[in-house]
């Protein structure tokens, strides 16, 4: 853990070199990805394939006169708690008083939000605006050196950046930054973004000070995806989403405590927030306004917010919002595309029942991410829903434990069977996805040991077959069970009476069912982990 005032970097005219350091060995190990070789690095003796992380970003700024009466640091902390499901390895908050561009207050470190930010830490984070980050990464990159937000010092003052995603073309961007004489001290995409923004584009005049929107736009033209960013400089926050809209980002309005459910447009803005998901807005007295549009750069200040630029993607390219946000990652009370994630998952269950009907006694779920889809399956099929598994809420999600061995060991202590609901029953068990296939077999055995006569598995998403290079930890094709066994083979392997997946077409249809608008020009999903069709192509080979 570290806590400082942000004075950790040397000031340089064209950029800066952070004092944060990492040890990367000279050994470069090739890894076979589809149709090409993608290189990985050895970090302290552990193999890392790029920066595969699923993170959450949050920013808040007060309106009106400063100092504000809002506790910005506490708001950001609570916002990050609501995003804890997106990353549980490290977190950080950076705040600014909005008056001086030289120093920020910084507190970040390894661990969960509630363990990192006690009353003393929050008191030290004085400010009228700030940004925060919660992170999940590969095991080897799980170090303090890679904790965000990154703070760098430029000739124009301190700059803080928090990033969700992964740069597909990090190699070319790295070369571009290094050729300008800027040193890089970590293998983090986020530091690369920070250093890129510190370099003014050659065609931009900055006689009156730095033009941050122009710098951000220049970066966006160099890096098409994948990222959602919050960038803070002195008294402003910039919310940035890549032009494909691959990673989520939304805007909220802080309203008076007694606002209730009144029309948001009629409420006075006490401040503004931006977040990877909207699920934490109500808990801090904010209301959801809208999503940051693909390619949009929004500037937040004490006077409100405004769109300062929009970077368009090529005409022949469609939006590529990560469909796995609907399937697994997002919290069910978050809003995407004008609909609640819960309703999309409910529709996935309905569509699954249409595609793979079954005669059974009871529909249930693997809690908790499979529950909404199970309710949808039950409603569409006309079968009753009932709980058959009791979850130990003090055990982490098995998808984000670092090794197969821990995943397998974690299953036995994660669930218990509700024997009276199970005995003698034919059960349809709905789950959101199967990744490595380690957890479902022990669950089926648990239900059979409790007396279930039949256990049929229904998966509310298509089989995962390809790795993700845009910020999700699905590292290699070899680890994905769907590349080894088809549905019937997998059913035999895990001990199920039958197993069926939702189709790709069915998934896309389900998530569009309740959308507030379906504009073909503003619609589209990244299904690369399901189909192998990557919106930005495969990542470049790394030379570092």
Please check whether residue 159 lies inside any domain of the structure.
yes
- Return binding residues: 322, 369, 431-432, 468, 526, 529
Q: Are residues 221 and 297 in the same domain?
A: yes
Alpha-carbon distance of 201 to 215, in angstroms, equals 6
At 11 the pLDDT is: 35
- Return binding residues for [4Fe-4S] cluster: 322, 468, 526, 529
Q: Are residues 303 and 379 in the same domain?
A: no
Please check whether residue 330 lies inside any domain of the structure.
no
Q: Are residues 253 and 382 in the same domain?
A: no
> 451 pairs with which residues across the strands?
none
At 30 the pLDDT is: 29
Alpha-carbon distance of 35 to 485, in angstroms, equals 21
Provide the token pair at 113.
């939000």
Please check whether residue 173 lies inside any domain of the structure.
yes
pTM over 0.75: yes
Phi, psi of 216 (to 5 degrees): -65, -45
Q: What is the pLDDT of residues 463-478, one digit of tens each?
A: 999 988 887 777 578 8
Q: Are residues 353 and 295 in the same domain?
A: no
Task: Give the least confident one: 20-24, 78-82, 131-135, 371-375.
Answer: 20-24
Q: Is 55 annotated in the active site? A: yes
Asked if 144 contacts 135 with a C-beta cutoff of 8 angstroms, the reply is no
Q: Where are the alpha helices (DSSP H) in 184-255?
A: 189-197, 212-222
At 296 the pLDDT is: 97
Alpha-carbon distance of 532 to 530, in angstroms, equals 6
CATH number at residue 499: 3.40.50.2020
At 17 the pLDDT is: 33
453 or 138: whose pLDDT is higher?
A: 453
Q: Are residues 418 and 375 in the same domain?
A: yes
Catalytic residue among 55, 199, 250, 279: 55
- Return binding residues for Mg(2+): 369, 431-432
Q: What percent of the chain has pLDDT over 90?
A: 59
Alpha-carbon distance of 491 to 134, in angstroms, equals 36
Q: Are residues 174 and 292 in the same domain?
A: yes
CATH number at residue 293: 3.60.20.10
Alpha-carbon distance of 537 to 74, in angstroms, equals 40
Q: Which domain holds residue 244?
A: 55-317
At 413 the pLDDT is: 67
Alpha-carbon distance of 197 to 201, in angstroms, equals 9
Q: Are residues 157 and 85 in the same domain?
A: yes
Please check whether residue 406 lies inside any domain of the structure.
yes
Alpha-carbon distance of 171 to 169, in angstroms, equals 5
At 15 the pLDDT is: 36
Please check whether residue 20 lies inside any domain of the structure.
no
At 70 the pLDDT is: 95
Q: Are residues 358 and 463 in the same domain?
A: yes
Number of domains the chain is built from? 2
Q: Where are the alpha helices (DSSP H) in 440-521?
A: 440-449, 487-494, 504-512
Q: How does the average pLDDT of the chain come out, rounded?
A: 84
Q: Are residues 429 and 288 in the same domain?
A: no
Banded pLDDT at 396 (limits 50, 70, 90): low
Burial of 337 (0-12, 13-18, 19+ CB in 10 A): buried
Please check whether residue 521 lies inside any domain of the structure.
no
- Under DSSP, is residue 244 helix (H, G, I), strand (E, B) or coil? coil
Task: Give the least confident one: 54-68, 110-124, 162-176, 335-349.
Answer: 162-176
Q: Are residues 277 and 162 in the same domain?
A: yes
Flag whether pLDDT at 362 surpasses 90: yes
Please check whether residue 7 lies inside any domain of the structure.
no
Flag whether pLDDT at 184 surpasses 60: yes
Please check whether residue 528 lies inside any domain of the structure.
no
Phi, psi of 61 (to 5 degrees): -140, 140
528 or 393: whose pLDDT is higher?
A: 528
At 75 the pLDDT is: 97
Q: Are residues 399 and 301 in the same domain?
A: no
Flag whether pLDDT at 137 surpasses 80: no
The mean per-residue pLDDT over the stretch 23-30 comes to 29
Q: Are residues 154 and 264 in the same domain?
A: yes
Angle at 239 between CA 238 and CA 244, to 5 degrees: 135
């Amino acid at each position: 853990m570290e806590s400082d005032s942000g004075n950790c970097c040397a000031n340089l005219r064209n950029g800066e070199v952070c004092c944060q350091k990492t040890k990367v060995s000279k050994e470069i190990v090739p890894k076979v990805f589809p149709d090409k070789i993608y290189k990985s690095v050895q970090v302290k003796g552990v193999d890392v394939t790029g920066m595969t992380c699923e993170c959450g970003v949050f920013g808040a700024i007060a309106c009106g006169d400063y100092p504000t009466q809002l506790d910005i640091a506490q708001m950001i902390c609570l916002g990050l708690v609501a995003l804890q499901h997106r990353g549980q390895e490290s977190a950080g908050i950076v705040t600014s008083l909005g008056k001086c561009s030289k120093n920020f207050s910084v507190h970040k470190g390894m661990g969960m939000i509630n363990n990192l930010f006690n009353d003393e830490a929050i008191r030290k984070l004085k400010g009228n605006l700030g940004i925060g980050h919660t992170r999940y990464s590969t095991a080897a990159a799980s170090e303090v050196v890679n904790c965000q937000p990154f703070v760098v010092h430029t000739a124009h003052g301190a700059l803080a950046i928090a990033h969700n995603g992964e740069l597909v073309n990090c190699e070319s961007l790295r070369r571009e930054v290094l050729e300008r004489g800027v040193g890089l001290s970590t293998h983090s995409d986020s530091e690369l973004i920070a250093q890129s923004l510190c370099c003014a584009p050659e065609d931009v005049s900055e006689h009156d000070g730095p033009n941050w929107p122009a710098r951000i736009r220049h970066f966006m033209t160099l890096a098409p995806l994948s990222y959602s960013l919050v960038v803070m400089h002195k008294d402003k926050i910039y919310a940035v989403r890549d032009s494909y809209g691959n990673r989520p980002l939304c805007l909220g309005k802080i309203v008076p405590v007694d606002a209730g459910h009144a029309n948001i447009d009629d409420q006075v803005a006490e401040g503004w927030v931006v977040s990877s998901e909207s699920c934490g807005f109500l808990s801090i007295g904010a209301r959801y306004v809208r999503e940051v549009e693909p390619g949009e750069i929004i500037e937040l200040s004490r006077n409100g917010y405004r769109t300062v630029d929009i970077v368009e993607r090529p005409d022949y390219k469609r939006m590529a919002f990560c469909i796995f946000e609907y399937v697994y990652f997002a919290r069910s009370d978050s809003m995407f595309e004008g609909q609640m994630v819960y309703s999309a998952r409910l529709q996935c269950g309905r569509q699954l029942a249409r595609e793979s009907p079954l005669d059974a006694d009871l529909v249930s779920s693997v809690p908790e991410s499979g529950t909404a889809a199970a309710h949808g399956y039950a409603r569409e099929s006309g079968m009753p829903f009932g709980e058959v598994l009791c979850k130990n809420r003090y055990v982490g999600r098995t998808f984000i434990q670092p090794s197969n061995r821990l995943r397998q060991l974690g299953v036995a202590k994660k669930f218990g069977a509700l024997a009276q609901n199970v005995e003698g029953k034919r059960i349809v068990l709905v789950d959101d996805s199967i990744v490595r296939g380690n957890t479902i077999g022990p669950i089926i055995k648990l239900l059979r040991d409790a007396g279930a006569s039949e256990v049929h598995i229904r998966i509310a998403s298509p089989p995962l077959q390809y790795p993700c290079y845009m910020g999700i930890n699905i590292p290699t094709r070899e680890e994905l069970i769907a590349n080894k066994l088809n549905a019937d083979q997998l059913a035999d392997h895990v001990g199920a009476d039958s197993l069926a997946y939702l189709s790709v077409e069915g998934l896309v249809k389900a998530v569009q069912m309740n959308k507030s608008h379906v504009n073909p020009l503003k619609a589209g999903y990244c299904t690369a982990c399901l189909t192998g069709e990557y919106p930005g192509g495969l990542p470049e080979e790394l030379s570092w």
